[in-house]
Amino acid sequence: MSEGDIVIVHKQDDFESGKICVVLINGDEATVKKVYKLEDGIELVSLNPNYPSRKFNAKDIKSTPIQVIGIVKQLIKNY
């Protein structure tokens, strides 16, 4: 994804592990990541391999907070 691209999202807070989702971190940082469910939390994996993955346990999800906004259904590229 690049700046200016348009993402079509199906708003829902539950998801299947491995889906690409829009995730809100700390109420002010929205990001698009592949999200995996872990035994005690989630892992956010960047689509760009230059960025490391981030893991959040159940406590982190509540205290940060981390919120899945929805699942990405379509990406419209702008050139």
- Residue 78: predicted pLDDT: 80
Domain of residue 18, CATH code: 2.10.109.10
Residue 56 CB-half CA count within 13 A = 20
Report if residue 1 sits inside a domain. no
Report if residue 57 sits inside a domain. yes
- Residue 31: predicted pLDDT: 94
Report if residue 55 sits inside a domain. yes
Report if residue 34 sits inside a domain. yes
The count of domains in the chain is: 1
- Residue 14: predicted pLDDT: 93
Report if residue 51 sits inside a domain. yes
Q: What is the DSSP string of 6-34?
A: EEEEEE-S---TTEEEEEEETTTEEEEEE
Domain coverage including residue 16: 6-76
- Write down the pTM of the prediction: 0.89
Q: Say if CB 7 and CB 75 are below 8 A apart.
A: yes
pLDDT along the chain (79 residues), means of 10: 89 95 95 96 94 96 96 92
How many residues in the chain?
A: 79
